Each structure stands twice: as structure tokens, then as C-alpha cells.
Amino acid sequence: MTRGGRTKTVASLLAVGLGLAGASLHAQAPKRRVIGMSQCNLGEPWRQQMNADIRKAAAAHPGLEVVFKDAQNDSLVQRSHVEELVAQKVDLIVISPREAAALTKPVAQAFEAGIPVIVLDRAVLGDKFTCFIGADNRQIGRAAGEWIRRTLGGKGRIVELEGLMTSTPGQDRHTGFREGLDAAKNPGLEVVFEADMQWLEPNARREMESALARFPKIDLVYAHNDPGAHGAWLAARAAGREGEMRFVGIDALSHEGLRYVRQGVLDATLEYPTGGAEAIATALRIFAGETVEKKIVLGSRLYTKENVDAGGAAVSAAGQAKDEKGARR
């Protein structure tokens, strides 16, 4: 072989080698995927945490891009956000819907258009979505009711401040609570005041002002979320009556509910995980062609002043909170 020929051969071998390396690099480069995240509201710390959890989980996967939408607590706006995401042909939609009925149709349309849809935390009606991820709100409500029944010793006047009752967590936290309270067998327990504060602290405060004006003695406030419980506490404190009653909420964010428990503002709170990391993990499984479960249920924990530093107590399937050894509290 001539000198020129050898050079050519080396050059072409190099070219083939580089080409192969390029091809394999190309094969390893993650496919770009766009996830549309339709958030119903970013007003509460819990929803900011959900978005942060999603952002963090997605950041660990190069190639994954998340487009966030905030419907600012308006179901019609959220509906148009879902429609926009479908028109943009995103690869997958994650939605935490404000209300069940209002968001059912846009979710079904996205699903029928062939876009996988993960419904997070609040449910929609029917089964036209890929997967639902969330904790069992009825079980959480039941654990709250049982704890309240035991803590009040079967006797007391209770105020229930409900989350938006057109959303499934509000409905389930109410139903579960009444089951756990079991007022039929405990006639000394009376829910004297019940109002829908729509998950919002200022509404809870206003409703609690009415309750305080009507009832000279209240033993406990059960609010469907920690902002609601805190709003009620603010109203009671303004009336100089916060020491008269206990306060129970749900969410247990470390910088919100758990802090309130440590400060003695709340007597108990139950964890409501955001499911943000699980949503991304499930999206990746869907992208990999796996068939995922229709429903993924997340766990919860009950926190009180006594157990908060030890990490709380797991809430069991029956709704009861158990300590680390599994004994009933």
C-alpha cells in the first residue's frame, strides 16, 4: 500500500470510528420530552411545594422539560390550560384539578387525543385518564376523626371547616372524619358549626369569626387543611379564645403545619404528600412504554406535639394512626 493509500485508510477508519462514536452518543442522548403541568392554584404553600417537587424530580433527567401553568383557582382557566397543552402536543399532562366535575371533560379529551394524563391529588370523575396519584383522603379524615374522638374523650363541641366541597379531598376528608368521629355511638360529640372555607385561610378566619360569635364554648376545630386551621386559630386569638380549644389540620408541610405543631398553634396535623416526585417517576415509566397502575395511593402520618420530633405516626389502612411499634394510639 502506498503512503497516500495508508493515510487514506487511516483517515477513513477514523471517520468510521468517529461516525460510530457519534451514532452511539446519539443513541444515548435522552429523548426530549415535554410534560405539561396544570396546577389549579399557587396561592398555598402546599401547591408551591408540589411544583418544587416536580421541578426537582424532573431536573434529574436531562431531556425532560416541564411547562407549568397556574390557573389561579379558576376552573375555567384551568380547562383552557389543558386545552392549550393538548394543542401544543405535549408528550404528557400532569394535572392537579381544582374541581372534579369541571375538569373531567378536558382531561378526557386530552386522554382521548392520545396524550397520557396523570391526575394528581384531586380526582376527576370517570376513568378517562392514565393514572391517579394521591393519598387516601377518606382514610386521613377517618384518622383525624378517631384522634379527635379519643382526645376529646367522647365529649365536645366541634367546628368543621371544609375544603372546597366540589373537590374530592374536601368530600373525602369530611366523610372520613364523620366515620372516625362516630357521633352515633358518641352522642357527647357534636359538630356545632360546619362551613366550606374552600381551602383558603382568609375564608377560614371569617367563618371562624361567625362560629365564635355563635358559640360561647368550642372544644376543637377540625379544618381540612393547615391554612384553614391557622386561619381559625387567628380568629380565636383575636377574640382571646385560642386557649379554649384545640386545632387540627391536614398537610403537615415542614415549614407550615409541622412548625405550627411545634409552636403549639396546632394540636395535630396529618401529612398530605404532594406526589410531585411520584408523578415524574410515573411519567418516566409511561415514556418507557410500561403500563402503569390506574391508581397509586400514597401514605400519610399523624403528627402531634408528643411525636413530631420522632417523625409522627403512620396512618394505617383502617385510618388509625400507629406508632413506630405498630401499637394503636
Beta-sheet pairing, 313-315 with 321-322: antiparallel
Q: Of 125-133, 141-149, 162-170, 204-212, which part binds ligand FRU (CB under 6 A)?
A: 162-170
Residue 41 touching ligand FRU (CB under 6 A): yes
Q: Of 25-33, 40-48, 207-215, 287-295, which part binds ligand FRU (CB under 6 A)?
A: 40-48
Q: Of 7-15, 38-46, 215-223, 288-296, which part binds ligand FRU (CB under 6 A)?
A: 38-46
69, 122, 142, 246: which one contacts ligand FRU (CB under 6 A)?
122
Q: Which is nearer to ligand FRU, 219 or 226 (CB)?
A: 226
Phi-psi region of 71 (alpha: psi -120 to 50; beta: other; left: phi over 0): alpha
Q: Which is nearer to ligand FRU, 206 or 285 (CB)?
A: 206
**Which of these, 127, 203, 121, 132, lies nearest to 168 by C-alpha position?**
121
Q: Which is nearer to ligand FRU, 121 or 267 (CB)?
A: 121
3-class SS shares of the chain: helix, strand, coil, % to 5 = 45, 20, 35
Provide DSSP, 178-234: HHHH-TTT-TTEEEEEEEE-TT-HHHHHHHHHHHHHH-S---EEEESSHHHHHHHHH
Query: Rounded CA gap, 254 and 231, in Å?
Result: 18
Residue 38 touching ligand FRU (CB under 6 A): no
272, 276, 284, 320: which one contacts ligand FRU (CB under 6 A)?
272
Residue 121 touching ligand FRU (CB under 6 A): yes
Residue 145 touching ligand FRU (CB under 6 A): no
For 230, residues 6+ apart whose C-beta sits below 8 A from its C-beta are 201, 204, 249, 256, 260, 265, 266
The CB-side HSE value for 73 (13 A sphere, CA atoms) comes to 8
Q: Which is nearer to ligand FRU, 122 or 157 (CB)?
A: 122
Residue 46 touching ligand FRU (CB under 6 A): yes
Applying the rule CB under 6 A, the residues between 17 and 36 that interact with ligand FRU are none
Q: Of 42-50, 62-70, 79-87, 188-196, which part binds ligand FRU (CB under 6 A)?
A: 42-50
Residue 304 touching ligand FRU (CB under 6 A): no
Give least dist CB 254 to ligand FRU, A. Answer: 14
AA letter at 229: A
Give least dist CB 110 to ligand FRU, A. Answer: 20
Applying the rule CB under 6 A, the residues between 218 and 257 that interact with ligand FRU are 225, 250-251
List beta partners, residue 35: 66, 92
The size of the interface with ligand FRU (CB under 6 A), counted in residues, is: 14
Query: Rounded CA gap, 138 and 144, in Å?
Result: 10
Applying the rule CB under 6 A, the residues between 176 and 205 that interact with ligand FRU are 199
Q: Which is nearer to ligand FRU, 190 or 194 (CB)?
A: 194
Residue 111 touching ligand FRU (CB under 6 A): no
Query: How many angstroms separate the Cα of 192 from the Cα of each of 65, 112, 204, 207, 322?
Result: 49, 46, 16, 13, 29
Sheet holding 321-322, edge to edge: 189-196, 156-162, 220-223, 246-251, 268-271, 301-304, 313-315, 321-322
Positions that interact with ligand FRU (CB under 6 A): 41, 44, 46-47, 121-122, 163, 167, 169, 199, 225, 250-251, 272
